[in-house]
Structure 1
Amino acid sequence: MTTLTITATTSPPDSSALRTDIRRLGDLLGATLVRQQGPELLDLVEEVRWLTRTDDQAAAALLEETDLDSAVHLVRAFATYFHLANIAEQVDRARQIDLRRRDGSVLAHTADRLADADPQHLAEAVAALAVRPVFTAHPTEAARRTVLNKLRRIAELLEEGQCTQARTDRQLAEAIDLLWQTDEIRATRPEPADEARNAVYYLDELYRSTVPAVLADLTAELARIGVELPDTARPLAFGTWIGGDRDGNPNVTPEVTRQVLRLQHEYGIKGALRITEQLRATLSSSDRLSAAGPELLDSLAADLAALPELDPRHLRLNAQEPYRLKATCIRQKLLHTAERLSTGSPHTPGRDYLGTGELIADLVLIQDSLRSHRGELIADGSVAQAIAAVRAFGLQLATLDIREHAEAHHQTLDRLYGGTYAGLTREQRQQLLAGELRSRRPLSGVATEPDRTLGTFHTIREIGETYGPEVVESYIISMCQGADDVFAATVLAREAGLIDLH
């Protein structure tokens, strides 16, 4: 078999395992090129690789003579190689991190450095800790989810280790063949919803394992140095501009925003259901051995009355297990929430959730009752971890930020004022809008046709009514240069019923 040995232009890898993985994937890719396109392509790749290292002019002449189809295959061969090399590097990086963790994790080392800090100051800082990575909107860079899945599969096979090489080489070869046969880019321009699916891919993976583990480690390391993470803390959350970034993108309409939020909630609720199922399997405490608090029992009674469709089998088998029954009710309300959002039905208190706050309130009832009835370890273990994960992702996975250019607000106000606004100076605008904010008179009644920017604020209000108040928390004014830019957005928010200064 001819071997594909492309050399990356980065510094040589330090890890022998990394070099072995790159060589292994290069061999398998070479076999893929022969199977899929014939030995001529592999020969061309090898020739180009050699000439680019030894004779630039000869390489340029060869590329100039290459026909279009061959050039496309050549580019794809090199691009696929670098995809595979990147995956091998990521796997090796994970190996190196695992080795370093034998001497303590990054969080452990950080906690050690904080151990001598002022306890009061440290406790206040920990209580205020709030990290929020944000997925920004770059639709032209959205990778196809099917490509991401195939690269992930290759990474998983590499992680199985060298001892299984004979068994996994066949699977790796199949994955690389599929990668070669898959279009890396879509035939049509990706839409905001496509980009949202790409972000959801990463968020869902983070929700499944990484973030709950990180939050559990954070809590444990802080406790080790005598610092308690408050129950209400939300040290990690996620944000996104996808579906909310209107600055310069006319494709982000109110309907697109609703579509993206439906998608995020579909996966966010699935994540909450996974956590709830774990709690149902864990919370087997019997009231014959450990009592439950009156608040939990009252809440459970209300749930059972509001959810008569619960499987009688659960009611019979778990009759003495109030925590498990409560988790069953939470699951049913999550299912109703998913159904309500998919059908556009109104919220029914007691049968579904309007926002993450109501879900967390139910989980906190379980936690408080366990703490009061010799279940402190359970409350501060499995239940606390579940609450922390739900706080991080909510039912929406990530908080949606709305972003609009400052000038768009002024253009809308000019239409609302009948064309008399555009000629004002910044100082005049500021005085006029400050007066509007002090008054109660509506402006939007003057308009004769729907306005896109004002419609955005109405959409934000509808989102809050449908999904809960935490789904949209920030409105970003891009190119903001003065107080009048802030006042303009505030007046429009007031028009939509989002703000009432009185």
Structure 2
Amino acid sequence: MGSLLYSSSQSADIYPVSELFLRHRLQVVEELWESVLRQECGQNMVELLRQLRDLCSPEGQATNDQASSAVKLIEQLNINEAIRAARAFALYFQLINIIEQEYEQRQQLSRYEADTEEIEPETPSNVNYSSNQREDDAPVSKGLAADLLRKSFLEKAQVKPKGTFAALFPYLFKLNVPPQQIQRLIAHLDVRLVFTAHPTEIVRHTIRDKQRQVVQLLQKLDALENHSGTTPGAYPWEAADVREQLLEEIRLWWRTDELHQFKPTVLDEVDYALHYFQEVLFDGIPQLYKRFKHTLSNTFPWLEPPSKNFCSFGSWVGSDRDGNPSVTPEITWQTACYQRKMVLGRYIQSVKNLIELLSVSMHWSDVLPDLLESLELDQSQLSEVYDALALRYRQEPYRLKLAYVLKRLENTSDRNLALYNRETPKNQDSPLYRSGGDFLAELRMIQRNLTENRFKLSRIRKSYLSGRNFWF
């Protein structure tokens, strides 16, 4: 099948490795896109879209004559054909955008790894061209997407951006910036990300999920190809299966409405705005902190990293008072409850993951007195958890403790739901967390026990557990 991106007769070894990856990924996505359109709209639509694309120059511009020819082609379409053509191009460029972002992430990772080793300007000579191939001699693809992305990324490659911690701290060291000044800045570091409603943010969660699924399948395809050592165009059955999954995902995307068929409410806007917090930032911010701490210690090991809450969040959505009559005190109340619900849901899932992870047994480890005392208190307050799980976790104190933590979080979530609905919470005497500090204190106690007993595995049982047989 012919491709809009490059001819199969072009030799792979004349391209740098990174550009070869870009071209290959673009070819894969375009072939799948064409296949879906051929099945859904017929070959005539595919040919029409090719003609429209070919009327543009590699820079994405069209001359007056080309524009006139494009207008004539479009005028020949009936309304249904025009809608299909517009949707097809919209889908095409969304897929290309996914490839662009994935490629840029790979380039950023490469630059980050290079920054970790040493700081030096990156020029085109650093790129791995073949020995007899210069950058200026690299053949130009006939594909619009490949040309535009190639130009964009080669321009970015001229100078390495100083946008990573791994580059920043060695740079400050070379400038002889006083460490005391750096420490003061770190100690006062306070980053606040504020979410706001945007009138153009109308993309459905369904479409975002499909975009994310396409990314995951492309990454899986990369892993399979790298593992099997295949070259572009030669796929084992596992990679072929992933291609088939990509085809089905793109077909489902094509058959899915891009926009909601109803007017979003304020609470819908709240949900859209916090989608990125739930899917990305909740896990991404701890990774950012770890990267900050690690790269700081590589250059200034005597400096203290920032506090773990150096990055916080706020939101205008559902609480702004800019004249929107739909934003009422009741909506703001529900927004706050919704935000609490989202955070509690993530904490509940994280605690469940910890219960699966922390299978530490009393046969092979000990715990500090404070954890044992807290288990006694938990037993008296949450007897139903003790009755259900004490036998199962009789030698696994961390799992039992986390089961109590989980129940308190669930009680807190139930109370929040009642508050959201303006109802009186049931079982108001049920143990729950009145603040994040109470929850954090229990997590820190578990952390302290794990840390202390990494090196002290034998001195507590006989001295403290003698006669204490309350749960095991």
Report the counterpart of residue 30 of structure 2 in structure 1: 26
Report the counterpart of residue 437 of structure 2 in structure 1: 357
- 1:64 counterpart = 2:65: no
User: Is the 2:115–2:166 contact (alpha carbons within 8 Å) kept by the matching residues of 1?
Assistant: yes
Report the counterpart of residue 280 of structure 1 in structure 2: 355
Q: Matches of 1:350 and 1:298 in 2, distance apart?
A: 20
Report the counterpart of residue 193 of structure 1 in structure 2: 267
User: Is the 2:112–2:166 contact (alpha carbons within 8 Å) kept by the matching residues of 1?
Assistant: no
Choose which of 35, 41, 44 in structure 2 pairs with 1:37: 41
Q: In the alignment, residue 265 of structure 2 is paired with which amino acid?
A: E
Match of 1:89, SS state, is helix
TM-score by length of 2: 0.69
Offset of residue 179 of structure 1: 1.0
User: Is the 1:33–1:41 contact (alpha carbons within 8 Å) kept by the matching residues of 2?
Assistant: yes
- 1:73 counterpart = 2:72: no
Larger CA deviation: 85-94 vs 220-229? 220-229
Choose which of 229, 236, 250 in structure 1 pairs with 2:305: 229
1:428-452 deviations in whole A, cap 9, x for unaligned? xxxxxxxxxxxxxxxxxxxxxxxxx
User: Is the 2:337–2:417 contact (alpha carbons within 8 Å) kept by the matching residues of 1?
Assistant: yes
Report the counterpart of residue 21 of structure 2 in structure 1: 17
User: Is the 2:411–2:430 contact (alpha carbons within 8 Å) kept by the matching residues of 1?
Assistant: no
Offset of residue 235 of structure 1: 1.7
1:293-326 deviations in whole A, cap 9, x for unaligned? 4444443332222111205353234345444332
Summarize the Cα distance change of 1:315–1:5 in structure 2 as closer, same or farther, 3 Å threshold.
Answer: same
Match of 2:207, SS state, is helix
Q: In the alignment, residue 264 of structure 2 is paired with which amino acid?
A: P
Offset of residue 50 of structure 1: 2.7
Q: Matches of 1:227 and 1:356 in 2, distance apart?
A: 28
Offset of residue 327 of structure 1: 1.9
Larger CA deviation: 49-58 vs 81-90? 49-58
Report the counterpart of residue 48 of structure 1 in structure 2: 52
Q: Matches of 1:112 and 1:51 in 2, distance apart?
A: 49
Q: Cα RMSD between the aligned structures?
A: 3.1
User: Is the 1:303–1:350 contact (alpha carbons within 8 Å) kept by the matching residues of 2?
Assistant: no
Summarize the Cα distance change of 1:118–1:241 in structure 2 as closer, same or farther, 3 Å threshold.
Answer: same
Choose which of 194, 198, 223 in structure 2 pairs with 1:138: 198
Q: Matches of 2:182 and 2:359 in 1, distance apart?
A: 37
- Quote the sequence identity (%): 33
1:397-441 deviations in whole A, cap 9, x for unaligned? xxxxxxxxxxxxxxxxxxxxxxxxxxxxxxxxxxxxxxxxxxxxx
Q: Matches of 1:375 and 1:259 in 2, distance apart?
A: 48
Q: In the alignment, residue 190 of structure 2 is paired with which amino acid?
A: A
- 1:82 counterpart = 2:93: yes
User: Is the 2:270–2:318 contact (alpha carbons within 8 Å) kept by the matching residues of 1?
Assistant: yes
Q: In the alignment, residue 203 of structure 1 is paired with which amino acid?
A: F
Offset of residue 158 of structure 1: 1.4
Summarize the Cα distance change of 1:308–1:147 in structure 2 as closer, same or farther, 3 Å threshold.
Answer: same
Summarize the Cα distance change of 1:348–1:287 in structure 2 as closer, same or farther, 3 Å threshold.
Answer: farther
Offset of residue 250 of structure 1: 1.8
User: Is the 2:289–2:308 contact (alpha carbons within 8 Å) kept by the matching residues of 1?
Assistant: no
- 1:93 counterpart = 2:153: no
Report the counterpart of residue 285 of structure 2 in structure 1: 211
Q: In the alignment, residue 303 of structure 2 is paired with which amino acid?
A: V
Q: In the alignment, residue 19 of structure 1 is paired with which amino acid?
A: R
Report the counterpart of residue 452 of structure 1 in structure 2: none
Residue segments in structure 2 that go unaligned for 5+ positions in a row: 7-16, 57-61, 117-163, 457-472
1:38-73 deviations in whole A, cap 9, x for unaligned? 222222212222334462222223333432222211
Offset of residue 168 of structure 1: 1.9
User: Is the 1:286–1:322 contact (alpha carbons within 8 Å) kept by the matching residues of 2?
Assistant: yes
The alignment covers a number of residue pairs equal to 369
Report the counterpart of residue 108 of structure 1 in structure 2: 166
Report the counterpart of residue 397 of structure 1 in structure 2: none
User: Is the 1:139–1:190 contact (alpha carbons within 8 Å) kept by the matching residues of 2?
Assistant: no
User: Is the 1:111–1:222 contact (alpha carbons within 8 Å) kept by the matching residues of 2?
Assistant: yes
Runs of 4+ in 1 over 6 A off after TM superposition: none
Match of 2:267, SS state, is helix
Q: Matches of 2:188 and 2:447 in 1, distance apart?
A: 22
Q: In the alignment, residue 123 of structure 1 is paired with which amino acid?
A: Q
1:104-163 deviations in whole A, cap 9, x for unaligned? 553333333455654444333323222222221114423101101111111111112145
After TM superposition, the structure 1 = structure 2 runs for residues 465-480 of structure 1, keeping only pairs within 5 Å, are none
Match of 1:153, SS state, is helix
After TM superposition, the structure 1 = structure 2 runs for residues 70-469 of structure 1, keeping only pairs within 5 Å, are 70-104=81-115, 106-114=164-172, 117-160=177-220, 161=222, 162=225, 163=230, 165-206=239-280, 209-224=283-298, 225-229=301-305, 233-285=308-360, 292-310=367-385, 312=387, 314-344=389-419, 345-346=424-425, 348=428, 351-370=431-450
Match of 1:247, SS state, is coil
Report the counterpart of residue 412 of structure 1 in structure 2: none
Summarize the Cα distance change of 1:114–1:51 in structure 2 as closer, same or farther, 3 Å threshold.
Answer: closer
Summarize the Cα distance change of 1:83–1:118 in structure 2 as closer, same or farther, 3 Å threshold.
Answer: same
Q: Matches of 1:131 and 1:350 in 2, distance apart?
A: 36
Q: Matches of 1:246 and 1:63 in 2, distance apart?
A: 45
Q: Matches of 2:115 and 2:429 in 1, distance apart?
A: 47
